[in-house]
């Protein structure tokens, strides 16, 4: 299966290249970077410290989608919006790990899924997706007698807050309770905010150091507290999940899927 990677010279892109190279049945179909990147023209194997594979980095993302069976995207919301259009036009499977997507891009993803297989998830880690499934189930069982708080911590360079994964956990909790997250979410607290409303889903965001990604969902009631946590110590878990998702798309019907679909959760 030919897998392409957009934004391939970044930290995540390099991990994706290495993961494709060690995945049985997968082949690097190409990689792209922005036109002014010094990585343009570099062999993808050489980029990750391995022997040359005969495929060089280009800036032509549209051609990449034509040449590949699936493309993995961990770029930026603006770039992802363009890649969705390329996937739709070529009918190429697209794996989206980009976070902070605006509503318009999510609409584009849904529209493109009529023509192509799209897998979009706030986090590609197997463990995080188990956490998402557990969060939804616990929220359904415990109902609003338990206050839900979602705590996340990432490295100092992360741009969006709360993290896409934290918001995904909030969506899972809200789904378990049968409510819309935007109706019950509290993303900041400062000053005299008053007593906590029943049914609220709160978020706390921490930033510092080189933390890859820590997420905890707290269910707090009178007399007891349940906490479920996932901690990522390497971005390799995201690359592994994304390549697994790309391989999973083979022979799938066009549609919008999540990592929970890929994992059978």
Residues with catalytic roles: 154, 158
Task: With CA atoms as reference, report the closest residue to 167 among 122, 198, 127.
Answer: 122
Strand partners, 201: 148, 185
Distances (CA, A) of 52 to 14, 23, 35, 42, 136: 14, 17, 22, 9, 45
Q: How many Cβ atoms sit within 10 Å of the Cβ of residue 97?
A: 25
**Regarding beta strands 201-207 and 147-154, do their DSSP bridges make them parallel or antiparallel, or are they unpaired?**
parallel
Task: With CA atoms as reference, report the closest residue to 177 among 221, 222, 146, 223.
Answer: 146
Q: Tokens 């280009």 — which residue?
A: 58
């Amino acid at each position: 299966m030919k897998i392409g990677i957009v934004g391939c010279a970044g930290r995540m892109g390099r991990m994706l290249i290495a993961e494709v190279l060690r995945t049985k049945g997968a082949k690097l179909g190409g990689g792209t970077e922005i036109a002014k990147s010094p990585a343009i023209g570099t062999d993808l194997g050489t980029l990750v410290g391995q022997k040359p594979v005969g495929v060089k980095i280009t800036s032509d993302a549209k051609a990449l989608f034509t040449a590949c069976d699936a493309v993995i995207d961990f770029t930026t919301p603006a770039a992802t919006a363009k890649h969705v259009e390329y996937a739709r036009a070529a009918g190429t499977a697209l794996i989206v790990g980009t976070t902070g997507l605006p509503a318009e891009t999510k609409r584009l993803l849904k529209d493109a899924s009529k023509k192509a297989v799209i897998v979009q998830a706030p986090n590609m880690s197997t463990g995080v997706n188990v956490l998402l499934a557990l969060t939804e189930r616990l929220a359904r069982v415990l109902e609003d007698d338990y206050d839900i708080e979602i705590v996340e911590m990432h490295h100092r360079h992360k741009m969006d807050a709360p993290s896409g994964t934290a918001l995904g956990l909030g969506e899972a909790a809200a789904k378990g309770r049968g409510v819309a997250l935007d109706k019950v979410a509290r993303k900041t607290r400062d000053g005299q905010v008053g007593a906590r409303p029943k049914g609220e889903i709160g978020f706390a965001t921490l930033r510092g150091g080189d933390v890859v990604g820590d997420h905890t969902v707290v269910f707090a009631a009178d007399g007891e507290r349940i906490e479920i946590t996932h901690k990522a110590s390497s971005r390799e878990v995201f690359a592994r999940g994304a390549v697994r998702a790309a391989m999973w798309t083979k022979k799938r019907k066009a549609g919008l899927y999540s990592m929970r679909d890929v994992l059978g959760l």
